[in-house]
Amino acid sequence: MYLASLLVRRHLLALRPSSSTLTRTLYTSRSACQATPNEDEAYIVGYPTPEQKAKMLEEALGNHRPQTKSPMDVHAVEDIHHLTAEEALRETGTRRDATMRHFTALFSFRPQHPAAHGVLRLILELNGEEILRADPHVGLLHRGTEKLIEYKTYTQALPYFDRLDYVSMMTNEQCYSLAVEKLLNITVPERAQWIRTLFGEITRVLNHLMAVLTHAMDVGALTPFLWGFEEREKLMEFYERVSGARLHAAYVRPGGVAFDMPHGLLDDIYKWATQFSSRVDEIEEVVTGNRIWKSRTIGIGKVTAQQALDYSFSGVMLRGSGIPWDIRKVAPYDKYGEVEFDVPVGVEGDCYDRYLCRVQEFRESLRIIGQCLNKMPSGAYKVDDYKISPPPRSSMKENMESLIHHFKVWIFRFAITIFSDSS
């Protein structure tokens, strides 16, 4: 296309009069440039008409014309399905349906840059607002995490999991740490388990706020989005107070958590939890009954329970289709087996039901957070094994063994021995 543009420019420059000629040009009617009669628009003599420009463009492109259309162009149905209009007519049975199907369009729903967040490309075939077909291109999402952590220790690999889903940071760390702890066959202290459960629910609220309110903003509701991000700011301050980072915390680690909670944090979380329920009510008042929101979500994106199982859906996508499956209930980890909460499910399996599930999960997360605050014990926040967790600095100043353990933990890290049945 670049070569073609150069050729077109060359043709135009060849037809353009010199500067000395321009001083002597006269304005004539369009009839002088082979225009239709009764038009008195003036053109400079020597410049090509639009028809001449189109002809020159056709000649300049020549063999350089692209053989396929851009994904942003309108495609006829034979370009997509290799069907002629007559075949489409035989399939649909009516001229109107054949005509509607004949004029579909391909749209490239893609990231502007490979380094953008959530880089998923979709090639969509549209008929108005109806998506007839979607071809996902997931290559930009692959970051080679599995290969990267082959050359890292178990602790050095932890920050990579923060970045797998940048709105569910600590739950990614929690999943990885649970797997490593199972391989090490160690038991995490009680306080560390309650801290993990507490911040797991804080992370769930962070995730659902992003999911619900960006969806509402895409539909046109900007105000709830601003309300929700004010709440996200408060929660990210809690992240920062325990880990020093607002997003990629690297806080939940094999054997417990990196640091104990600072003084006064539990009181601040309690104050936030008492006012957040009223903020959820405000969001529901603006969004849930809104006729535009309902018209854009009810009956849209319906997924039956069987389809959800066939496609191995999880989370809200599964619960929104009416299946009460929650890993916190089915296979509880940390302290989820000691807290009470309900699992909201949908009925229709559409976008509206999934929205209602997330809103109700806000309230269930507040229930769990309240129980964590009430049951939070004192004690150690990481496993008391210096071969896994480094000893405290005060201990290193008192005995040589602690100093040696600290050196070996950070230089060589801990190793996992995999036992196999030789029989």
Chain segment 293-308, per-residue pLDDT in tens: 999 999 998 999 999 9
For residues 242 and 265, the answer to whether their CB atoms sit within 8 Å is: yes
The CATH code of the domain that includes 355 is 1.10.645.10
Which of the pair, 285 or 57, is modelled with greater confidence?
285
21 and 99 belong to one structural domain: no
351 and 389 belong to one structural domain: no
350 and 324 belong to one structural domain: yes
246 and 367 belong to one structural domain: yes
DSSP 26-41: -EE-GGGGTPPSS---
Q: How far apart are CA 196 and CA 256, in angstroms?
A: 8
Confidence of residue 78 (pLDDT cuts 50, 70, 90): very low
118 and 199 belong to one structural domain: no
What's the pLDDT score for residue 124? 84
Tokens representing 186 are 């160690």
81 and 55 belong to one structural domain: no
Judge whether residue 37 has pLDDT over 50.
Answer: no
For residues 322 and 357, the answer to whether their CB atoms sit within 8 Å is: no
For residues 269 and 201, the answer to whether their CB atoms sit within 8 Å is: no
188 and 294 belong to one structural domain: yes
In our burial notation (b when 16+ CB lie closer than 10 A, e otherwise), range 399-420 reads eeebeebbeebeeeebeeeeee
Residue closest to 181 by CA, chosen among 217, 143, 205, 154: 154
For residues 352 and 294, the answer to whether their CB atoms sit within 8 Å is: yes
What's the pLDDT score for residue 405? 80
Judge whether residue 79 has pLDDT over 50.
Answer: no
Give the end of a domain, one of 118, 141, 164. Answer: 141
Instruction: Classify residue 364: in a domain, yes or no.
Output: yes
What's the pLDDT score for residue 194? 96
Instruction: Classify residue 69: in a domain, yes or no.
Output: no
> What's the whole-number average pLDDT of the chain?
78
40 and 95 belong to one structural domain: no
pLDDT tens across 310-356, in order? 999 999 999 999 999 999 999 999 999 999 999 999 999 999 999 99
288 and 239 belong to one structural domain: yes
- Which structural domain range is residue 394 located in? 385-423
What's the length of the chain?
423
Q: How far apart are CA 69 and CA 61, in angstroms?
A: 15
What's the pLDDT score for residue 32? 37
Tell me the pTM. Answer: 0.72
For residues 255 and 389, the answer to whether their CB atoms sit within 8 Å is: yes
Instruction: Classify residue 342: in a domain, yes or no.
Output: yes
Confidence of residue 115 (pLDDT cuts 50, 70, 90): low
What's the pLDDT score for residue 401? 84
Q: How large is the average pLDDT for residues 152-167?
A: 86
End-to-end Cα distance, the chain: 66
Confidence of residue 103 (pLDDT cuts 50, 70, 90): low
Give the end of a domain, one of 90, 110, 141. Answer: 141
Instruction: Classify residue 183: in a domain, yes or no.
Output: yes
- Alpha helix segments (H runs only) across 84-128: 85-92, 95-102
Give the end of a domain, one of 42, 64, 86. Answer: 64
Residue closest to 288 by CA, chosen among 227, 357, 349, 342: 357
Which long-range contacts link 354-360 to residues 24+ away (Cβ below 8 Å)? Answer: 354/301, 354/316, 354/317, 354/320, 355/212, 355/215, 355/287, 355/288, 355/297, 356/288, 357/316, 357/319, 357/320, 358/208, 358/211, 358/212, 358/316, 359/212, 359/280, 359/283, 359/284, 359/288
Instruction: Classify residue 185: in a domain, yes or no.
Output: yes
Residue closest to 360 by CA, chosen among 327, 326, 331: 326
What's the pLDDT score for residue 8? 40
What's the pLDDT score for residue 129? 74
What's the pLDDT score for residue 162? 87
Which of the pair, 82 or 3, is modelled with greater confidence?
82
198 and 50 belong to one structural domain: no
What's the pLDDT score for residue 167? 87
Q: How far apart are CA 94 and CA 41, in angstroms?
A: 46
Judge whether residue 121 has pLDDT over 50.
Answer: yes
Helices and strands in the chain: count of H runs, count of E runs? 19, 7
Q: How large is the average pLDDT for residues 266-282?
A: 94
Instruction: Classify residue 71: in a domain, yes or no.
Output: no
115 and 155 belong to one structural domain: no
pLDDT tens across 397-421, in order? 888 888 888 888 777 776 676 655 5
Q: How far apart are CA 311 and CA 323, in angstroms?
A: 14
Structural domain count, the chain: 4
339 and 410 belong to one structural domain: no
Instruction: Classify residue 87: in a domain, yes or no.
Output: yes
Helix (H) or strand (E) holding 12: helix 2-15
Residue with tokens 């579909």: 104
Instruction: Classify residue 72: in a domain, yes or no.
Output: no
